[in-house]
A = this chain, B = another copy of it.
């Protein structure tokens, strides 16, 4: 039986999603809970691996089990056995040929920035502090050209080994918050650090620290033009998009 978990987590105290020996990771914590229940080593498969310090408002993983529990029982037992920085929000039984990573069609990320002059200790690990006035219209103008299908070499980590850097961005918008701005970006897929590099560029444009020249930067396919990467703490995996049947 294949079980799908819909969950959220606070990434602050995790060294990312993926299992690492001797480090606290989301995968490590969930697999430890499942391994204890099954009395054998269990493996989970996520829709998306998030980096160290990155949060998830909506993330999915699945695992195969022969325990025969109801989804309600899984929900209850897992939340009882997981730490308070992870929450299982829904449990479903899915077909054994469904794989959350291969069947996902896209993702939405949120990046949260606050612009107060001084640090707010209660945003520690949860929002990025950028103490500059940001011009919303100027940012929107620089955001618009990201929409559509482009080669995003200029906005991806040079470390990324993927050859094809063409991706499609379907949504890129701003939500004003009490404390600053949230950037919401959706697409078919994202290159390594792509959202954090794009946000670093947009806030520099918003602060008047660089010119809006998105089309030219995309065209040049050169990461060195956009050297900064916004910190992990402001980044949230907001939604994973599936085909109709598993759209939650």
Contacts of A62 in B (CB 8 A): none
CB 8 Å contact bits of A107-151 with B (1 = contact, 0 = none): 000000000001111101010010000000000000000000000
Contacts of A10 in B (CB 8 A): 121-122, 124
Q: Which one of A81-89, A176-184, A222-230 is at the B interface?
A: A81-89
For residues 77 through 103 of chain A, which have their beta carbon under 8 Å from a beta carbon of chain B? 79, 84-89
Tell whether A84 pairs with B124 under 8 Å between CB atoms, given A79-B119, A89-B118.
yes
Contacts of A89 in B (CB 8 A): 118
Q: How far is the CA of A120 from the CA of B85 in the complex (A)?
A: 7
- Asked whether, in the complex, the Cβ of B120 is within 8 Å of the Cβ of A87, the reply is yes
Contacts of A88 in B (CB 8 A): 118
For residues 1 through 49 of chain A, which have their beta carbon under 8 Å from a beta carbon of chain B? 8-10, 12-13
Contacts of A9 in B (CB 8 A): 121
- Asked whether, in the complex, the Cβ of B8 is within 8 Å of the Cβ of A84, the reply is no
Contacts of A119 in B (CB 8 A): 79, 84, 86-87
CB 8 Å contact bits of A54-91 with B (1 = contact, 0 = none): 01000000000000000000000001000011111100
For residues 160 through 214 of chain A, which have their beta carbon under 8 Å from a beta carbon of chain B? none
- Asked whether, in the complex, the Cβ of A126 is within 8 Å of the Cβ of B122, the reply is yes
Q: How far is the CA of A78 from the CA of B183 in the complex (A)?
A: 31
Q: Which residue of B lies closest to A76 (CB)?
A: B118
Q: How far is the CA of A120 from the CA of B87 in the complex (A)?
A: 7
Contacts of A13 in B (CB 8 A): 124
Q: Which residue of B lies closest to A56 (CB)?
A: B121
- What are 14 A-B interface contacts by the 8 Å CB criterion? A9-B121, A10-B121, A10-B124, A12-B124, A79-B118, A84-B119, A84-B121, A84-B124, A85-B121, A85-B124, A87-B121, A88-B118, A89-B118, A122-B126
Q: How far is the CA of A91 from the CA of B124 in the complex (A)?
A: 22
- Asked whether, in the complex, the Cβ of B84 is within 8 Å of the Cβ of A129, the reply is yes
Q: How far is the CA of A88 from the CA of B118 in the complex (A)?
A: 8
- Chain A to chain B: the 5 pairs with minimum beta-carbon distance, closest first: A10-B121, A85-B124, A87-B119, A85-B121, A10-B124
